[in-house]
């Protein structure tokens, strides 16, 4: 059985693991040398060396990055870690590590992890959603990441919120557009919405705790959030019709979403509302990530599903 190394190249930390089948054989973490491409390469190579010294065996290497590799130029693009943009990351790592290296977007790695041995295992079509500081997504079909010719498949966070209510006046997004799903469904988006209505700034965790204590304003904020997530996911279901939607990121800890969102999305899923003798129940499941924060790094390791 081959060992698989997964590296999650984040804006503040680089995390590396070795998977032996589904179980973790080693794990290491270092600070990301921010704004220094050469040092970032060096840190990844040193991390791989250290992991292989721990296990005593060579391994395949997959890397998750906060961006994507351009299909035409093979250079990094769309990365929020700006010092990676325009760099030949994959080619440089392959030369330094003397073997082929697979690189994928971190949300795609999340979806791959959950589809392979996580909450979406066994499902044909998995849509992985990360709702945290931002909102991203990834699509895995029959064990393969669908990344697309533009490398943006699954990036639903920068579509506009569908079926808007009067209260959904579009806020400006960092991407330059207005009313993006991310501005509503990210953690900061939830806080901003609560503040807009109540004038009080609370973190997402504080909003959930207040709603649990029976505070009406916090409850209303979460109901708005759930209706928005239901509409946003209904538009995904209408296009992709996934078997499972796996939710990760900080917002995935809000357990009421798994009941309330599917309860609300039926109204927006095509034909679910038709007047037939038996109402059609949408079969898509909404579930929390099984591997939590480790899904990104595990999914990077699973970029080599069939070994070298
Ligand atoms: Zn946007």
Q: What is the pTM of this model?
A: 0.93
Distance 139 CA to ligand 1 centre (A): 19
Query: Rounded to 5 degrees, what are φ and ψ at 124?
Result: -70, -45
Distance 179 CA to ligand 1 centre (A): 7
For residue 9, count other CB atoms closer than 10 A to its CB.
27
Do strands 3-9 and 13-20 pair parallel, antiparallel, or not at all (unpaired)?
A: antiparallel
Residue 29 structure tokens: 């973490």
Distance 301 CA to ligand 1 centre (A): 29
- What is the rounded end-to-end Cα distance, in angstroms, of the chain? 10
Q: Could you please report the per-residue DSSP string of 31-71?
A: E--TT-HHHHHHHHHHHHHHHHHHHSS-EEEEEEESSEE-T
Distance 188 CA to ligand 1 centre (A): 13
Q: Are 128 and 198 a contacting pair, CB within 8 Å?
A: no
Query: Rounded to 5 degrees, what are φ and ψ at 53?
Result: -65, -40
Distance 132 CA to ligand 1 centre (A): 14
- The most distant pair of C-alpha atoms in the chain lies apart, rounded to whole Å, by 64
Distance 134 CA to ligand 1 centre (A): 9
pLDDT score for 280: 59
For residue 64, count other CB atoms closer than 10 A to its CB.
29
Distance 183 CA to ligand 1 centre (A): 7
Distance 180 CA to ligand 1 centre (A): 5
Distance 195 CA to ligand 1 centre (A): 20
Q: Cα(166)–Cα(252) distance, rounded to whole angstroms?
A: 26
Distance 212 CA to ligand 1 centre (A): 31
pLDDT score for 137: 95
Q: What is the mean pLDDT of each run of 10 residues along the chain (308 residues)?
A: 92 94 94 95 97 94 93 87 92 97 95 97 97 94 93 92 86 89 96 96 97 97 97 96 97 97 91 57 92 94 91
Q: Cα(104)–Cα(116) distance, rounded to whole angstroms?
A: 15
Distance 92 CA to ligand 1 centre (A): 31
Q: How far is CA 196 from CA 158, 167, 179, 251, in A?
A: 21, 10, 15, 19
Helix, strand or coil, per DSSP, at residue 5: strand
Residue 99 structure tokens: 């073997």
Distance 289 CA to ligand 1 centre (A): 24
Distance 115 CA to ligand 1 centre (A): 26
Distance 159 CA to ligand 1 centre (A): 7
Distance 170 CA to ligand 1 centre (A): 11
Q: Does an H or E element contain 133, and which?
A: none
pLDDT score for 274: 57
């Amino acid at each position: 059985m081959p060992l698989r190394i997964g590296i999650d190249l984040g804006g503040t930390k680089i995390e590396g693991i070795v998977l032996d089948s589904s179980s973790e054989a080693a794990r290491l973490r270092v600070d990301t040398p921010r704004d220094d491409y050469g040092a970032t390469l060096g840190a990844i190579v040193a991390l791989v060396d250290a992991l292989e010294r721990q296990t005593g065996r060579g391994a395949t290497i997959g890397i998750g990055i906060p961006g994507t590799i351009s299909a035409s130029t093979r250079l990094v693009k769309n990365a929020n870690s700006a010092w990676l943009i325009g760099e030949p990351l994959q080619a440089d790592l392959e030369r330094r590590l003397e073997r082929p290296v697979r690189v994928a977007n971190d949300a795609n790695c999340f979806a791959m992890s959950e589809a392979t041995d996580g909450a979406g295992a066994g499902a044909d079509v998995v849509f992985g959603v990360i709702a945290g500081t931002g909102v991203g997504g990834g699509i895995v079909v029959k064990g393969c990441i669908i990344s697309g010719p533009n490398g943006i498949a699954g990036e639903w966070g920068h579509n506009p919120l569908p079926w808007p209510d009067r209260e959904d006046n579009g806020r400006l997004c960092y991407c330059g557009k207005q009313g993006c799903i991310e501005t509503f469904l990210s953690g900061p988006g939830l806080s901003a919405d609560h503040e807009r209505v109540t004038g009080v700034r609370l973190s997402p965790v504080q909003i959930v705790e207040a709603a649990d204590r029976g505070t009406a304003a916090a409850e209303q904020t979460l109901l708005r959030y759930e209706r928005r997530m239901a509409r946003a996911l209904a538009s995904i279901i209408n296009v992709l019709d996934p078997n499972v939607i796996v939710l990760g990121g900080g917002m995935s800890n809000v357990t009421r979403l798994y009941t309330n969102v599917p309860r609300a999305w039926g109204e927006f899923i095509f034909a679910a509302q038709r007047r037939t003798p038996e109402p059609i129940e949408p079969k898509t499941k909404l579930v929390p990530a099984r591997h939590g924060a480790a899904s990104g790094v595990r999914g990077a390791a699973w970029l080599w599903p069939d070994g070298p």
